[in-house]
Structure 1
Amino acid sequence: MAVPTTRMLVLAVTRMLQPVHGYDVRRELLSWRAENWANVKPGSIYGALKTMQRDGLIAVEGVGQDGARPERTTYRITPEGEKVFGEMVRESLWSAELLRHPYVAAVSMFPQAPREEVVAALRSRILKFEAEIVQLEREEARILAGSGDPTETEPHHVADAVRLAADHLRADLNWSRKTLARIESGELDVWSGVFAKSSTLESPMS
């Protein structure tokens, strides 16, 4: 059973910065780029806090107001929350499930699309990955140049999450380059047989 990622990350930040406002939990996870690599939506963070409070994993530390700002509730993790958090971290660390790559479905559709469109799409994919890898490398360097103190900037372990994302992109980039080269050289040809005759897509290049 997969660990609920949003709940685990929200618990982690609450534990790290407690007592902490929901806004600060949201800001911290956004700085970790969790929306990109864990699909943690900003709006789901507040929902997770309410659910975890209901389940007894976190408790309200206090409600305060700073000047004209709206009232903010601060939270602290409970002993039950510590227990559940430990279980989730352990299960996540030992997870070795294969990624379900959404592009595999597109690859299986290569014969159903015109060859020139597949080639153009692969070239676009390669350019996109090259740019994203450069961006991730800069982000990793920026995080590691900071203090690593979570009260000041992103903790250094976030750089490892960024590096993992970059390594996955490099694998995709390597596959895309090799596949494009195989198509252009004629080694990979799924368009000269029956599939080409049954293709239902019109080429936008024509």
Structure 2
Amino acid sequence: MERPLRAVSSPLTVAVLTLLAEKARHPYDMKVTLRERHIAETVKMRGGSLYDTIARLERAGLLTPTETSRAGSRPERTVYAITEAGRKTLRELISEFVGEPINEFPRFVAGLAHLAVLTPAEAAALLRRRADHLAAESERAARELATAAPDLPRVVLLETEYLQRMRDCEIGWLRQTVADIEHGHVAWPEPESPSSPAQEEKRS
């Protein structure tokens, strides 16, 4: 039975199926390869999330175990291979992720929409702090890109390049916006004075 695409639609699903589309692998090999390719920038992997995803994809018929082996005293390792249904689903998911822009309701943009609740000084301080955090991340990512395994083709690092470019663009926008706020170039609503009890009584 075919599973609805949304039931397996996640960045980690795409990462696992992509690795298995290259060759059959065991989970530890997947984890090492994801780390080498800096996929952690786009995929959340906590605790047993990789193993949970593998189990879910196996139940959906998108991958299948091919062999189980043991090396010395190490735990058994099960090797998985992608199925034809898995290849079809992978292509559909990539087409959806890349070709169909959606509003993901980012938390930062939601905060910007209500920035006038703060004073200009408070807003500028928070935007500057965010820019500093992003600058540190940008430096770290640049070092990782510079030391990426030389045999990795650029195509498997495109998402890291993209995130780095987006980060640098945001830093530039944040720094400029902080300067505009501090120089009074961003109009700010005047805070309303609290009404006295007498004024409230007069209005009523």
- Per the shorter chain, which TM-score range? 0.7 to 0.9
* Candidates 167, 185, 188, aligned match of 1:187: 185
Which range moves more in the overlay, 164-173 or 21-30? 21-30
Separation of aligned partners in 1, 2:130 and 2:97: 30
Contact (CA 8 Å) 1:21, 1:72: kept in 2 or not? yes
Q: Which runs of 5+ in 1 are unaligned?
A: 149-154, 199-206
CA contact (8 A) 2:17 2:86 kept: yes
Asked whether the 8 Å contact 2:121–2:182 carries over to 1, the reply is: no
Q: Match for 1:47 among 42, 47, 52?
A: 52
Rg larger for:
2
Does 1:81 pair with 2:86? yes
Identical-pair percentage? 25
Q: Is the contact made by 2:11 and 2:42 (CA closer than 8 Å) also made in structure 1?
A: no
Aligned pairs (5 A) from 1:1-206: 3-18=9-24, 20-41=25-46, 43-98=48-103, 100-143=105-148, 146-148=150-152, 155-190=153-188, 193-194=190-191, 197=193
Which 5+ residue runs of structure 2 have no aligned equivalent?
A: 195-204
Q: Is the 8 A contact 1:34 1:40 kept in 2?
A: no
Q: How many residues align?
A: 188
Bigger drift between 23-32 and 6-15 goes to 23-32
Say which is worse superposed, 40-49 or 172-181, in terms of deviation: 40-49
Paired residues of 2:69 and 2:78 also in contact (CA < 8 A): yes
What RMSD, in angstroms, separates the aligned Cα atoms of the two structures? 2.3
Looking at structure 1, the residues matched to 47 and 166 of structure 2 have their Cα atoms a distance apart, in angstroms, of: 24
Distance 1:31 1:100 in 2: 30
Query: How high is the TM-score relative to the length of structure 1?
Result: 0.80
